[in-house]
Amino acid sequence: MKRPFGVIFSAILLFLGSLFQLLMAVLTVLSGALVGKIPPAGLHGATAPPPIPGWMPVFIYGLSAFFVALAVWGILTTVGLFRLRRWARYSVLVIGGGLALINGIQMLFTAIWLFVPMPVAPTVDASQAHTTLAATKIVFAVLALIYAVLCAVGISWLVYFNLKWVREVFAGAPGEIAESPRPFPISVLAVLSMIGAACCLLTVFLPLPGALFGWILDGWGKVMLYLVFTVLSAAVGIGLWRLREWGRLLMLGLMAAGLANSMVYLLRPALLLQYNTELYRRMNVPQPQVPAQFQTMMPIATFGFAILFTFGIAAVLIHYRYAFKHPIEPPRNEATALP
């Protein structure tokens, strides 16, 4: 039997979430290693911080191990979903229930803060108090939206994987799965492109300036920039999912443009610092003061990782170019395979 589209899509989302958990584990370990090691003199005259409690490093490394455990669970479940194992359906139901419960509660509490009067820090200028409160409300609204999306994903898994025909798919005998001509990495890139298109469309409505090749864009310039990338990302997702050669070439073109953009900011870190300053100025939020070495190191690390990520995607697209010689035609009964 063929894997239903909903199972493939859910497995890819779960795999991406597991990779995010691994990233959180790495960042947690790094934060634990840096705790208490930033010299107070580098914080522009800030007073010395209180001593770090002895239990803090243990807590940080324990939290990192927890993220790793969640990532391993998600990856194992992803493999089980692709192999249509019965235990994987139960596992994703547990994960979906956890997502729905935890993020539903966080969404409600975060949404409450949108209607609760919040005090203004005494360091904020009185003339900017209203703007600062508005920016804080926007942050809480974005967080509530993220929690709502994660809660919706969990609820959708609870509903979808309890459908009768989906249960029957997982109840079938193993070893009778028709292999898809679409390689798994290509499926991941297709879903990532679709998610990227949704993120670009959401950014259109956020009060944040755009940035491209060192230029700071606002107003209709920013809107047009993100709308173009929304259309291109959606087209790439469709083209990769159906194994169209134009989709592969279009994504390679976008990767080349992204590489050039990253190189501009990597060679001229001052442009990124200028964008950050402009971002905080337009939001009327005080810009945090960090040591000078961090101001230089962070852009290099960020765009260095972006360049490596770009080369990795390009390598995947070149390695699996043979799969695009036989594009996938939508089946006549595709409607029955969609969740």
59/63 Cα distance (integer angstroms): 6
Q: Residue 176: helix, strand or coil by DSSP?
A: coil
233/238 Cα distance (integer angstroms): 9
186/319 Cα distance (integer angstroms): 10
Which of 26-35, 90-99, 169-178, 318-327 shows the highest mean pLDDT?
Answer: 90-99
Sorted by sequence, the CB contacts under 8 Å of residue 58 that are 6+ apart come out as none
Q: What is the DSSP letter of 213?
A: T
Per-residue confidence band for 115, with pLDDT thresholds at 50, 70 and 90? confident
Q: What is the DSSP letter of 116?
A: S
Tell the residue number behind the tokens 């390009």, with chain if given: 314
Q: Is the pLDDT of residue 323 over 50?
A: yes
216/282 Cα distance (integer angstroms): 12
The structure tokens listed for 330 are 């939508």
pLDDT in tens, 64-106: 888 888 889 999 999 998 888 888 888 898 888 888 888 888 8
Q: Give the pLDDT mean for 331-335.
A: 45
Sorted by sequence, the CB contacts under 8 Å of residue 67 that are 6+ apart come out as 21, 22, 24, 25, 28
pLDDT in tens, 255-268: 898 888 878 877 77
Per-residue confidence band for 336, with pLDDT thresholds at 50, 70 and 90? very low
Per-residue confidence band for 308, with pLDDT thresholds at 50, 70 and 90? confident
Beta-strand runs (E) in the chain: 210-212, 215-217
Measure Cα distances from 278 to 59, 126, 201, 303 in Å. 37, 21, 22, 19
143/107 Cα distance (integer angstroms): 8
Q: Give the pLDDT mean for 180-208.
A: 80
Burial (CB count <10 Å: 0-12, 13-18, 19+), residue 280: middle
Q: Residue 2: helix, strand or coil by DSSP?
A: strand
Q: Is the pLDDT of residue 235 over 90?
A: yes
Handedness of CA 297, 200, 246, 238 (dihedral sign): positive
6/187 Cα distance (integer angstroms): 13
Q: Is the pLDDT of residue 292 over 80?
A: no
Higher pLDDT, 296 or 148: 148
Q: Which residues does residue 2 pair with via DSSP β-bridges, in sequence order? A: 178
Of 309, 339, 321, the closest CA to residue 19 belongs to 309
Tell the residue number behind the tokens 């990302």, with chain if given: 233
pTM beyond 0.95 = no
Question: What is the share, in percent, of the chain residues with pLDDT greater than 90?
Answer: 10
Q: Torsions phi, psi of 50, nearest 5?
A: -65, 155
